[in-house]
Amino acid sequence: MATTGTSFIKHEVAHHFDNAEQEFESAKLGMWAFMAQEILFFSALFVAYAIFRYLYPEAFLEASSLLSWKMGAFNTAVLITSSFTMVMAVNSAQTSQKKKTFNFLLVTILLAALFLVVKYFEYMSKFHHGIFPPNYFNAMAVFEQVPIFFGIYFVITGLHALHILIGIGLIIWIMRRTARGEFHADYFTPVELVGLYWHFVDLVWIFLFPLLYLVG
């Protein structure tokens, strides 16, 4: 679909590229490379989780039972929905539907915020019961390795929440650019890349939910 109407801004290919295709392909490849490093970033945490779950299965079972699987499941649903709205946003951008793109991005942000609110209440209820990272842990637990589980839990969910926050910032940024009419069938690279990032963040959570909440 060609760029029509006056509400869109024509994209200028950066001076060092020969054409728009080269620019798009480079950006996409770069983003995939960046995603590769993100996977490796989280992988060490998953490895740590695997080792200690293998070493102390009972402690992990006990610790996991202290988490609210209902909240976790709710949040999983929220994030999967947000992934869907993100897909729709990218799709709308590709078909030059400015208004729709904007709205889908807005819904995505609201879902992300909802996720964080639920997460906040989850953390608070843990703190209320004295479940803190190991140095401040003062809850009752049968197995002495329970704090390790929560050490990993807080680090990994904390880093994931940080990724969500960064995601919200990125979506706000592309919403502003969408409103200005920068994205259309001829140029939608940033929307596509942020979408990619957002799916990655969701994917991490989809792994985290069963590993942390559904032990046993």
Partner 1 sequence: MSTKTIKNYLNCETGIMSWLTTLDHKRIGVMYLLFIAISFGLGGFFALALRMELLTPTQLYLTAKQYNQAFTLHGAVMVFLFIIPSIPAALGNFVLPLQLGAKDVAFPRLNLASFYVYVLGAAFAIFSLFNGAVDTGWTFYTPYSTQSDTSVISMTLAAFILGFSSILTGVNFIATIHKMRAPGMTWFRMPLFVWALYATAIIQILATPVVGITLLLLIFESTFGVGIFDPALGGDPILFQHFFWFYSHPAVYIMVLPAMGVMSELVTTFCKKNIFGYKLIAYSSLAIAIISFLVWGHHLFLSGQSSYANMIFSLLTFLVGIPSGIKVFNWVTTMYKGTIDLKTPFLYFLSFLFLFCIGGFTGMFLGALSVDVHLHDTYFVVAHFHYTMMGGVVMAFLGGLHYWWPKMFGKMYSEKWGRIAAAFVFVGFNWVFFTQFILGTKGMPRRYYNYLDQFQPLHAFSTMGTFVLGTGFIIMAVYLIHSLFKGEKAPANPWGGLTLEWVADTPPDHHNFHETPTVTTGPYDYEKAGY
Under 8 Å between Cβ of 90 and 195: yes
Number of residues this chain uses to bind partner 1 (CB under 8 A):
42
Determine whether 154 is exposed, middle or buried from the number of CB atoms within 10 Å of its CB (0-12, 13-18, 19+): middle
For position 190 contacting partner 1 by CB under 8 A, the verdict is no
Shortest separation between residue 74's beta carbon and partner 1, angstroms: 27
- In the numeric block, which tokens belong to residue 172? 């706000």
Residue from 93, 111, 152, 208 in contact with partner 1 (CB under 8 A):
152
Contact pick of 13, 20, 52, 113 for partner 1 (by CB under 8 A): 52
Cβ-contact 95, 192 below 8 angstroms: no
The neighbouring-strand residues paired with 187 are: 184
Judged by CB, which is closer to partner 1: 74, or 137?
Answer: 137
Write down the residue that tokens 């964080």 correspond to.
116
25 near partner 1 (CB under 8 A): yes
Nearest 5°: the CA angle 135, 67, 212 is: 85
Interface characters, 119-148, with partner 1 (x: CB under 8 A): -------------xxxxxx------xx-xx
Q: How many other CB atoms are found less than 10 A from the CB of residue 106?
A: 16
Binding site for partner 1 (CB under 8 A): 14-16, 22, 25-27, 29-30, 33-34, 36-38, 40-45, 47-48, 51-52, 55-56, 59, 132-137, 144-145, 147-148, 151-152, 154-155, 159
